[in-house]
Structure 1
């Protein structure tokens, strides 16, 4: 028999995981996001959904399985290794966001320069016609 103990945090985590999956699919379907972004956010959604449902099931000790996997990779035992990997993933997301911001600023600067040149060219043409 599978024991199931649903706490409010499990429901919140499951809903948030499903929302991440849905939103990442919707952004890619509307061509507003790249495949990499879809994989990133869908991966977080699946991970959150798996942890939420897995920790609600009493017959499955998901944290023990995660600790076993992390110890096989060379991390120490305990929840500290899980927090370490979580922080690495968050750092990756912050870095990715920073790179996207820098790229957007560069594009905006290029567009401003191009617009200024077009305005100057338009003003020169209207002055020459007069």
Structure 2
């Protein structure tokens, strides 16, 4: 009897999944990071484009990643999808860096900084992210 119940639940979940469409959208963001406390720390900074998932059992999905050039400039792009056609991805940028805080000359551990960005999708527009200052949280 228990096996029939498990099979019935599995069948219902499968039927529900077939009726769900995912909304896939792509994003391209461009910008620059600066590190006023050590200008060299703006180079080779990891920039991730993520899709924020707010449900407790979900994790934020990686849409794309890039590394800044020697002057701190980056272009990051990628696609994300969320369940149901009306639910567009919620993109944001995460920057992983070692820029020292003001008053310090070195930053040993990596730090991360999240930046909310517009929900604008390709091909309509490329998101121009305001300059990201890494020395402050």
Q: TM-score, normalised by structure 2?
A: 0.17
Q: TM-score, normalised by structure 1?
A: 0.18
Higher relative contact order (CA 8 A, sep 6+): 2
Structure 1 or 2: larger helix share?
A: 1
